[in-house]
A and B are shown apart, each in its own frame.
Chain A
Amino acid sequence: MPGIDECLLEAMRLPGARGAALVDWTSGLALGSVGEFPGGDHEAAAAEAAEVARLTAEQRAFTPDGYDRHEHADATAGPGAGVDPPVEDLIISNRDSYHVLRFVPTSFDSSVFLHVWLGRPDGNLALARIRLGEMAGRLVLG
């Protein structure tokens, strides 16, 4: 069963991967990180990525149809039963790289996402999305 480090090392095997981190979007804490990050500071990168992730997760515009109902059902089922994040992932591209932020659903209350930084020449967004989704599932579901 993979732990946080194994999961991040697996993310680093994606084509073009420069850095990978597991970040809490409420506090901005990097729970783990490998490789390099823009500006050479993974803690600063985590805090900045966390801010973007939090805004995305809280925007109603990005919430799928029926999410409120699902949430309401959970709220009545028990005190804040596990709710999947409303957003699956977030992709940011610039001239030389991609950032893929994948929200991690957990069975306990949390607010974490996987952040992978990919070099543009080798990066493959479609592959990264699929793999990160699988990794996020394996990380917390075994």
Chain B
Amino acid sequence: MTAVRTHPQGTTPPPRLPVREKSGARDRGGALSPMLTRLAAERATGVLERERGSLYLAEGRVVHAESPLAPGLDVLLLAHGTLAPAVWQDAVDRADEEYGAARLLLDAGRVPRGALELCHLEAVFDAAYFALAPSSTPGHFRYGAGHWLGAVRPVPVDAVERETLRRRELLNRLWPDPLSDGAPLRRSDAVAAPTPTARQSAVLALADGVRTAPDIARELGRQAFHTLVDVRRLAAAGLLTALFPPPRVHHAATAAVPGLPPRHALAESTGTAAAPPSPGITLPRVNDPDITLLKRLRDALEAL
């Protein structure tokens, strides 16, 4: 019998990349952040600070985005030696209102314009995905605040909103359980496991029961959303599980890492992790292979 394969041997068939729904996105676009829609309409300049990240606007267009959950442009450019740390630091130190760090790097010929535009755009959409995530507290806008990087390639607000919605839908189609986005990850043995791709293997190698997807992204110098895509595919394949509730012993250790927000704060804010159990209550062993399998089966059925 001839087997006709439409996907790489031994891997989960890929779901279709979702396409933006133009009519729906227009209605829902404003729902992401009504404040952002209003700021775009009035061509505001400043920074919108939300629970999980910030969006920098210049005349109503997005010029920069940052999130503690996404590696910054510096991490992406320095991790693989695109720029030397000293060169980057020098540009950051010399940046002022008129000459942003980006322009200084370009004028000095330190980085090709195409490479900087590409890497920056990816970093902006990556951080915006988290910054525009549902939040429990209202965001606030500081008028006039600029970013030391300066404008590279401004993006319209509605393009950022539509892309963020499309990305949510993409992750949901890959694997509907968002727990793996923020919880510590651990490899698991799957029966008849598909062979992970090279990029997925790099993610798997760092899943040690302590690191979360954002930690792994930072370590690999890779976009957080790209890492979430791989993590959800690996979770769907049964090769990776999220530890729930997160092991308490790691809280103190990881909260002390500079530059990273305390993990328990984020977990509480997303509502994906429960508060530590009170003494005397025994939680079920949710990482038991049988229970995990049943949960995956249930999630898959619900996703149909």
| Residues of A in contact with B (beta carbons under 8 Å apart) | 1-4, 7, 22, 24, 26-29, 31, 41, 43-44, 47-48, 50-51, 54-55, 58-60, 68, 71, 75, 78-83, 106-112, 138-142
Q: CB < 8 Å: which of B11, B17, B82, B225 contacts A51? A: B17
For A43, what are the chain B residues with a Cβ–Cβ distance below 8 Å? 19-20, 162
Most buried by A among B115, B166, B219: B115
Task: Judge whether B220 is part of the interface by a CB distance below 8 angstroms.
Answer: yes
Q: CB < 8 Å: which of A28, A51, A71, A140 contacts B115? A: A140
> In the bound complex, do residue B170 and residue A75 qualify as a contact, i.e. CB atoms below 8 Å apart?
no
> In the bound complex, do residue A108 and residue B17 qualify as a contact, i.e. CB atoms below 8 Å apart?
no
> In the bound complex, do residue A55 and residue B7 qualify as a contact, i.e. CB atoms below 8 Å apart?
yes
> In the bound complex, do residue A108 and residue B153 qualify as a contact, i.e. CB atoms below 8 Å apart?
no
Chain B nearest CB, measured from A56 CB (Å) = 10
> In the bound complex, do residue A27 and residue B167 qualify as a contact, i.e. CB atoms below 8 Å apart?
yes
Chain A nearest CB, measured from B77 CB (Å) = 6
For B162, what are the chain A residues with a Cβ–Cβ distance below 8 Å? 43
Chain B nearest CB, measured from A117 CB (Å) = 17
19 CB-based A-B contacts, threshold 8 Å: A1-B106, A1-B109, A4-B121, A28-B18, A31-B122, A41-B19, A48-B17, A51-B16, A51-B17, A60-B9, A80-B79, A80-B80, A108-B77, A108-B80, A108-B82, A108-B221, A109-B80, A109-B221, A110-B119
> In the bound complex, do residue B20 and residue A44 qualify as a contact, i.e. CB atoms below 8 Å apart?
yes
Chain B, range 168-208, C-beta contacts under 8 Å to A: 170, 197-199, 202
Chain A nearest CB, measured from B22 CB (Å) = 8
For B22, what are the chain A residues with a Cβ–Cβ distance below 8 Å? 41
Chain B, range 116-169, C-beta contacts under 8 Å to A: 117-119, 121-122, 125, 153, 162-163, 166-167
Chain A nearest CB, measured from B83 CB (Å) = 9
Task: Judge whether B231 is part of the interface by a CB distance below 8 angstroms.
Answer: no
- For A140, the closest partner residue in chain B by CB is B115
> In the bound complex, do residue A4 and residue B117 qualify as a contact, i.e. CB atoms below 8 Å apart?
yes
Most buried by B among A43, A48, A68, A83: A43
Query: Given A43-B20, A79-B219, is A22 in contact with B14 using a C-beta cutoff of 8 Å?
Result: no
Chain A nearest CB, measured from B261 CB (Å) = 22
> In the bound complex, do residue A80 and residue B202 qualify as a contact, i.e. CB atoms below 8 Å apart?
yes
Chain B nearest CB, measured from A101 CB (Å) = 14
